[in-house]
A and B are shown apart, each in its own frame.
Chain A
Amino acid sequence: MPRPGATWSVTLEQLAQQLVNGVLIGLVYSLLAIGLTLIWGVMNVLNFAHGDFLMIGMFLSYWLYALAGVDPLFSVPINAVALFLLGVLIYRFVISKVMKGPPLAQLVVTFGVSIFLSNLAALIWTPDFRTIGHSMLTGTWDVSGIELSIPRLVTAIGSVLASLGILWFLRKTRTGKAILAVEMDREAALIMGINAERINSLSFGIGSALTGVAGAMLATYYYIYPFVGGTFGLICFCIVALGGFGSIEGAFIAGILVGVVETLGGYLLDPSYKLAIVFAMYLVTVWIRPQGLRGW
């Protein structure tokens, strides 16, 4: 065994620190996963370019900061609108054309979009790394021995708010209910006169808008470069599937769960295996419950 075990003992405080951080990163995952699961639930499309939309959101916040001095927190609404529009455009001009085709084409087309977007970003903005130097949110808060990074905390809170907002929208507004209806039973919804194309386009837009929100908040403490989408992309798919096809609550819970398992697993066992632990958790879950935690 070339790696001697570390000679440390686990204190409650350190465990609590890891747990808290797991929840904080988990909430970021949740926000991303909700957007993805909405798209999946409504259209049965797995958007492999989701991470790249996040990247665009992060860059948008960066340029607003670098060129116009806009604090990333204020770029949240701007990002939401911009990414909403981008989502709708991509749906209209690319995805909708594949909706009538074989499911494999629907999977593959978003791969193409992903490769296109990340490399276009590298071409236009160069592959260099950027960060936002001074946002309103910096520093850490020491809460009885546990270090809480303020940007992360705010991002996590923002994620909770956004998730609640989406849930409210889906359950309480007419359009939202129409989206839910299409998610649950597409045929029946069509018969009831719901315009499926409009719902599709709207859902893709909303899912993308959420990546814009996540991007703005992540930009306050994460590094930004054209291929940053890949870092979050894969784990998002796992979360969405774990949570269950189309279930917003499922994605939310699964996000937090994965964040915690990844962090605690990495801490208590071996960080190089932490992703394997997450994937194993996914496999075991779907073996027991093939439709994910809250899917139908």
Chain B
Amino acid sequence: MRPALLLAFFFTLLAGIESAAAQQKVIKIGALYPLTGNLAATGMDCKRGVDLAVDIINGKYDLNLPLANQEGIPSLDHAKIEVVYADTKGDPKNGLAEAERLITEEKVVALIGAYQSAVTKTASQAAERLKVPFVCSDSSSPTLTERGFEYFFRVSPHDGTMARNQFEFLKDLETKKGVKVKTIALIYENTEFGSNVAKQQRNYAKEFGYDIVADIAYPANASDVTSEVGKIIAAKPDVVMHAAYITDAILFTKTFKEMNLVPQGFLNMAGYIESDYLPTVKADGNYFLVRSTFALDLAHKKPLVGQVADLYQKKYNIPMGENTARSFTAPFVLADAFNRAKSTDSDAVVKALLATNIPGDQLINPWKGIQFDPKTHQNIYASAMLVQIQDQTYYTVWPSDAASRDVIWPFPAWKDRK
């Protein structure tokens, strides 16, 4: 008698757990980032952005973000999103392996990531082979959306768009402020990122009618950059455009100051907007212009930005940065697609992604919205603003409808600063 009772009790329990589990449905998505190694600080930035986004989606928040005011995905029984992270260590072969592992073993229904374009390349190849949607909001190589992939979508702008934005800014500066710029020096770290940016900048420089008087690639992990800065000085450019990761951004900043390089202005990318940059170089970072898809001062025009930034600051005790803001957006795009597709089946999700139409006021990024080009799957509204570091803070200075401060131009001489 007793064993039968125990068995009955056991099965009831099981049934109870089963039904409870059925109500607690979970949607697993995979996130690939360099969580250890050289770019770990950046990887962690991205992870925090994703974590916050998923928190908001799964919880009930009074924020004008997609699905924020309901728990989970409404049309899927309020199922919650669970993120499974994988460390790529910045190596493309790990990107491939982890993408496959997340899909085949962890059974994730979609992927996001992976920051480094080389890693995103191989990871998204795996996703394409296995027919799983990949929504990228933090890799900037234009080639990612030139492959004709069905399952890959990119939310953020690529280096081509961002380079173009830099030149549009220059032209604006010339017309509105009577600034005269003729010559440009390109300087870039010599890996996939930097050399791609330089290629784009060369093309746009020609299109916009500027002369490139120096075109300098340097090894990414240089211990000293005096020769590079010396070459820029010798070329006497009006404007310097630097594509860097954080280590070189820091080193070059110090060297620019030491060797007294004072062009009319610096238009930089990436490294100068990393969370660790300003705390490391402090006042020496002032007056650099950086392309960005986020700045805290956007809160003036869009209270949503302030609300999210506050949430982030409260949760992590550090200010929200650009990498975080980019990675923050991908989970929302996926959640919105799941909701409209009423399913997590790959093809249904892809169809829903293609129909995505998130309005700009539901984003913390300064875009008109999110809509994917039907062929390339690139967000047609993705673009970059220009921010300038003033008083050791990032302020939006372009385009004018997003600007909160006027740009300071030309670049004040190092020796003239207090």
Contacts and interface: CB of A to CB of B under 8 A. Distances in A.
Q: Are any A and B Cβ atoms less than 8 Å apart in their complex?
A: yes
A144 interface: no
B227 A223 contact: no
Which among A4, A267, A271 has the greatest number of chain B C-beta atoms within 10 A?
A271
Interface in A135-186: 140, 147, 149, 152
A262 B281 CA distance: 25
A271 B227 contact: yes
B224 A263 contact: yes
A131 interface: yes
B380 interface: no
Contact of B40 (A4, A10, A122, A222): A122
A8 B224 contact: no
Contacts of B351: none
Contacts of A11: 234
A93 to B, nearest CB: 26
A129 B45 CA distance: 13
A2 B221 contact: no
A6 B215 contact: yes
B226 A25 contact: yes
Contacts of B259: 17, 147
Contact of A119 (B36, B214, B216): B36
A2 B199 contact: yes
B235 A140 contact: no
Interface in B124-175: none
B357 interface: no
A222 B199 CA distance: 30
Which among B231, B235, B247, B279 has the greatest number of chain A C-beta atoms within 10 A?
B231
A264 B199 CA distance: 26
Contacts of B279: 129
Which among B212, B224, B231, B260 has the greatest number of chain A C-beta atoms within 10 A?
B224
B410 interface: no
Contact of A227 (B37, B202, B234, B281): B37
B251 to A, nearest CB: 7
A223 B251 contact: yes
Contacts of B254: 221
A290 interface: no
Contacts of A14: 230, 233-234
Contacts of B212: 4
Contacts of A119: 36
Nearest to B224: A25
Nearest to A8: B234
Contact of B230 (A18, A227, A272, A275): A18
B190 interface: yes
A69 interface: no
Interface string A48-65: 000000000000000000
Given A8-B235, A129-B276, A271 B217 contact: yes
B219 A272 contact: yes
B280 A267 contact: no
Interface in A216-250: 221-223, 225, 227, 230-232, 235
Nearest to A9: B234
A263 B41 CA distance: 30
Contacts of B223: 25, 231-232, 235
Interface in A1-55: 2-4, 6-11, 14, 17-18, 21-22, 25
Given A25-B223, A127-B37, A140-B258, 15 more contacts: A4-B215, A6-B213, A8-B231, A18-B227, A25-B224, A126-B41, A147-B260, A152-B258, A223-B247, A227-B38, A271-B218, A271-B228, A271-B231, A272-B190, A274-B219
28 contacts: A6-B213, A6-B214, A6-B215, A6-B234, A7-B213, A8-B213, A11-B234, A14-B230, A17-B259, A18-B226, A18-B227, A25-B223, A126-B41, A127-B36, A127-B44, A129-B250, A133-B282, A147-B258, A147-B260, A222-B251, A231-B221, A231-B223, A259-B224, A262-B224, A267-B231, A271-B216, A271-B217, A274-B227
Interface of B: 36-38, 40-41, 44, 190, 199, 202, 212-219, 221-228, 230-231, 233-236, 246-247, 250-251, 254, 257-260, 276, 279-282
The 3 A-B residue pairs whose C-beta atoms are closest, nearest first, are A266-B227, A127-B40, A8-B234
